Amino acid sequence: MFTIKEISNLIGGTVVGEPDTEITSVNNIENAGKGAISFIASKEYIKFLHDSEASAVIVPDTLEIKANGKNMNYIVVEDVFHSLSILLKTVENESIENNGINKLAYISSESNIHNSVSIGAFTYISDNVQLAEGIKIATHVFIGKNVRIGKNTLIYSGVKIYNGCIIGDNCIVHANTVLGSDGFSFKPDKEGIFEKIPHLGNVIIEDNVEIGANTVIDRATFGSTIIRKGVKLDNLIQVAHNVEIGNDTVIAAQSGIAGSTKIGKNVMIGGQVGFKNHLTIGDGSKFQAQSGVNQNIPEGNKLYQGSPAIDFINHMKSSIIFKNLPQLQKRLIDLEKEIVELKNKLNE
């Protein structure tokens, strides 16, 4: 529970109304009731204020808001969505249990755990693990030997972190994600039987990374699979061994990146995009959903689509031709018939 004044101080706003009013929830403007704080970001939503029961509304300083006759309270901010993000993160953190170390958790005596760390029941912490201040670890998490996790990182239930992995500050790892599993690497012997190639490397997750639920990031064969600062990964993503993903890249669900591919900075990847192994992708590249990337794209800042992925404009032009192929085929067949008829007439 917060007061309007406390929320305003948190998000850097200015209160118009009663600063001591208590707020117990956050909701959209159409459904916010008494005790809730809501928001509007543009003039199209001002019409909802008249019937709203919200106790407070976050509004941008670019809008002129008039009182709706119901003693509405406002927090005026420069950027509504940035302010809302700060508020929601705070509410989320408040909702996550932080009761210290549960008595049903196992922690190796050889690990180094900061006294502010929260660890849920049935979580297993192996030897030589280092957990920095402010970390929250939920229930049923496994953390292998020699793992290091940075400050204020949040690990949700069911996450598995294999030996030697490193996670930076302010990261979020959602439920049932696996970090550091073996890569998919098998070679057939002379009899055609596949022999497993062990992976001895690790996974490095830098600061401010968020990894969605059920995502898997494989350890390197040698060296490290690296997720750079600010990367955001959706649910159900596969990142293979020795991949490197550049700063502030975002990847949507069900995408897969094969081994040793290097993704640049600020790349945007839609859902179900697949990358071949050993590729280099330039900074700022963008890939539409379901694209298949099978060649290097060293030149960045372009939009691609299709399988194989090509320049977006060329893909759109090709799509027009593809949709008309049946008609074009019929015209070609008719033209061939006419040519045959003309040749027959000339030979008569």
- Give the residue numbers marked as catalytic: 241
Indicate the SS3 state at residue 256: strand
From the list 330, 332, 308, 331, the residue with the least C-alpha distance to 318 is 308
From the list 99, 102, 182, the residue with the least C-alpha distance to 141 is 102
From the list 227, 181, 216, 187, the residue with the least C-alpha distance to 201 is 181
Q: How many Cβ atoms from other residues are within 10 Å of residue 178's Cβ?
A: 18
From the list 158, 201, 198, 162, the residue with the least C-alpha distance to 179 is 162
**Residues ≥6 apart with Cβ < 8 Å to 277:** 240, 258, 259, 260, 261
Give the whole-angstrom CA distance, residue 162 versus residue 178.
Answer: 8
| CA angle in degrees (0–180, nearest 5) for 224-226-227 | 160
- Is the link from the previous residue into 308 a cis peptide, with omega within 30 of 0? yes
| Residue 329 near residue 312, CB atoms below 8 Å | no
